[in-house]
Amino acid sequence: EIPAGRMVGWRVAVLCLWVSCGSAAGQLEYSVSEETERGVAVGNVAQDLRLSAAALSLRNFRFLSSHGEPYFEVDLASGSLVVREPADRERLCGDKAACVLTYELVLEDPLELHNIHVHVLDTNDNSPHFPAGDVQLHIPEFLMPEPVLLSLTPKMPTREAMGC
C-alpha cells in the first residue's frame, strides 16, 4: 500500500507536468504617452500573440489588472490593446524613473498566461522653472584661467503645485 503523503506528492508532480506541457507563458511590452485619449490603440495583442481577434473570444480570454483601475482594455473586434482611461504618470508613479503598469492575459484551451507591461511615458506637460532667474558670476582679473562647471537643475512643478 502507498502512503497517503507519497500519493499526494505524485499527484502534485503530475499536475505540474500537465500544466507545464499544456500551457505557455510570454510577455508583451507596449509604450504609451501619459494622458493619451480614450480609445487610442496602443498595440495589437492578438497579432503579437499570432492569433486572430476572434480567437481571443473563442479561448475565453481574461484581461486582469495588477492595480485597482484598469487603464487599458482589449478590444474584442480588433484584438487591440486600447486606452480605457488616460493615465496620469505623476499620479501613478510619482518621481520614479520608469512607470510600468502590469496586466495578465489568460487564454484557455490550451491554457496560456501572458504578462503585458505598458510603459507610461512622460510628456513634458509642466514647464520647468529655475530657482534663480539670473546668474551673475564675479571673476576677479587676477585668477588664472581654469574650467568652471556650472550646473543649474530645473524643478518640474507637479499638477497639484500648479493648481490643476
What domains are there in the chain, each with its CATH number? 22-121 (2.60.40.60)
The answer to whether 114 and 46 have CB atoms below 8 angstroms apart is no
Report the pLDDT value the prediction gives residue 105, as an integer from 0 to 100: 92
Provide the whole-model pTM. 0.62
- How far is the C-alpha of 22 from the C-alpha of 110, rounded, in Å? 6
Report the pLDDT value the prediction gives residue 70, as an integer from 0 to 100: 81
Three-class secondary structure of residue 92 per DSSP = helix
Average pLDDT over residues 3-7: 54
- How far is the C-alpha of 131 from the C-alpha of 152, rounded, in Å? 9
The answer to whether 16 and 111 have CB atoms below 8 angstroms apart is no
Average pLDDT over residues 79-92: 92
Mean pLDDT of the chain: 79
Model pLDDT for residues 27-50, shown as the tens digit of each residue: 999 999 999 999 999 999 999 999
- How far is the C-alpha of 123 from the C-alpha of 134, rounded, in Å? 27
Model pLDDT for residues 113-164, shown as the tens digit of each residue: 999 999 999 887 666 666 666 777 777 777 777 766 666 666 655 555 555 5
The answer to whether 114 and 49 have CB atoms below 8 angstroms apart is yes
